[in-house]
């Protein structure tokens, strides 16, 4: 039997309807409140349909270097000036800049009939590559890797596997063989992870008080960005990044900082014993493998944890 929809209008509330999906047993599966205007014209649906266009506008502007140029120009620039500096067509650039104004990422002012563009504070902070809080590396990875993969989402659902082979001609068996297939690709992925933790790393590591853990290992810690946030928040603790040898070497070569207090440990956490620690952090890695491997990793973490006294979590903790 199929579920059926029921629309209920409450007396005196003509501008809002409650839409229920009712299961065969008569119980509502979910309820969503929609305004009458939304039912008359699908504003939200159209916004969702066209969301990819907004993403691609931002991706393209980042790849072309628009935000860095505007940040360093010290003055608003015309479309002709931007296109000349970046080697693009003037018409194409003007269209791109106007869309960025429309979504409130850039600002525009008219002077003697000519439009001059400048960045908003948000664009300068998060979209310019030179900003300490830049999401540029995240955006490049989304544009050049994630976006093409999502073009094959229908096949992913049908087949139940990732689409690296169809998208990039790479084996779909080992996802990290694709991600780390070259130093260039590895740097893109590590840049993505670095950007991620620059934004929300501090909030994550301070969501719980981890002061009692004197030795912390970030399992699969990649560039060390989250480990650095841990080290800043808990300076009395020793923080170590555990990852594959080639990842550790790349992290130390490209992402190390002069004031680093974190340590790196080369190893394969599926093949080798974990280095001793009071706390193991598993952040944004569990989703990379099937459940059996995740359970194996969780068991290994539990077995490696020492008993701790004076800490709210008896016997250590795994996050």
Q: Are 143 and 62 in contact (CB under 8 A)?
A: yes
Residues sharing a CB contact under 8 Å with residue 145, sequence separation 6 or more, in sequence order: 188, 189
* Kind and range of the H or E run holding 44: helix 43-49
Q: Catalytic annotation on 72?
A: no
Using alpha carbons only, give the angle 94, 99, 105 rounded to the nearest 5 degrees.
110
Question: Among the residues of 87-182, which ranges form H helices?
Answer: 90-102, 121-126, 136-141, 147-150, 153-159, 164-168, 175-179
Cα distances (angstroms) measured from residue 171 to each of 21, 161, 163, 174? 41, 11, 9, 7
Q: Tokens in use for 165?
A: 């082979």
Q: Tokens in use for 154?
A: 């229908």
Could you give the 3-state DSSP secondary structure of residue 174?
coil
Name the nearest CA neighbour of 243 among 228, 263, 213. Answer: 263
Residues sharing a CB contact under 8 Å with residue 165, sequence separation 6 or more, in sequence order: 171, 172
Q: Are 95 and 56 in contact (CB under 8 A)?
A: no
Alpha carbon distance 280, 298 (integer Å): 10
What's the order of all strands across the beta sheet hosting 16-22? 4-8, 16-22, 28-35
The catalytic position among 33, 72, 254, 287 is 287
Catalytic residue ranges = 287
């Amino acid at each position: 039997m199929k579920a059926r929809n029921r629309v209920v209008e409450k007396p005196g509330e003509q501008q809002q309807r409650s839409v229920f999906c009712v299961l065969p047993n008569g119980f509502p599966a979910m309820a969503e409140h929609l305004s009458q205007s939304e039912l008359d014209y699908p504003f939200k649906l159209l916004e969702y349909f066209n969301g990819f266009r907004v993403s691609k506008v931002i991706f393209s502007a980042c790849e072309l270097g628009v935000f860095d140029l505007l940040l360093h120009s010290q003055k608003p620039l015309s479309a002709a000036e931007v296109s000349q500096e970046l080697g693009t067509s003037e018409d194409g650039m003007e269209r791109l800049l106007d869309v960025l104004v429309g979504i409130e990422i850039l600002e525009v002012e008219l002077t003697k009939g000519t439009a001059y563009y400048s960045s908003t504070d948000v664009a300068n902070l998060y979209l310019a590559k030179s900003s300490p809080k830049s999401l540029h590396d995240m955006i490049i990875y989304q544009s050049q890797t994630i976006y093409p993969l999502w073009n094959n989402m229908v096949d992913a659902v049908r087949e139940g596997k990732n689409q690296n082979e169809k998208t990039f001609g790479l084996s779909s068996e080992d996802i990290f063989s694709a991600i780390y297939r070259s130093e260039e690709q590895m740097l893109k992925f590590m840049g993505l992870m670095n950007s991620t933790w620059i934004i929300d790393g501090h909030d994550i590591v301070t969501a719980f008080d981890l002061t009692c853990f004197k030795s912390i290992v970030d399992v699969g810690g990649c560039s060390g960005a989250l480990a650095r946030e841990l080290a800043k928040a808990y300076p009395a603790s020793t923080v170590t990044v555990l990852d594959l040898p080639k990842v550790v070497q790349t992290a130390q070569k490209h992402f190390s900082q002069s004031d680093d207090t974190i340590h790196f440990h080369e190893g394969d956490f599926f093949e080798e014993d974990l280095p001793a620690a009071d706390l193991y952090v598993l952040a944004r890695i569990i989703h990379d493998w099937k459940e059996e491997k995740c359970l194996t990793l969780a068991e290994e973490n539990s077995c490696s944890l020492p008993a701790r006294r004076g800490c709210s979590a008896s016997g250590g903790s795994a996050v």
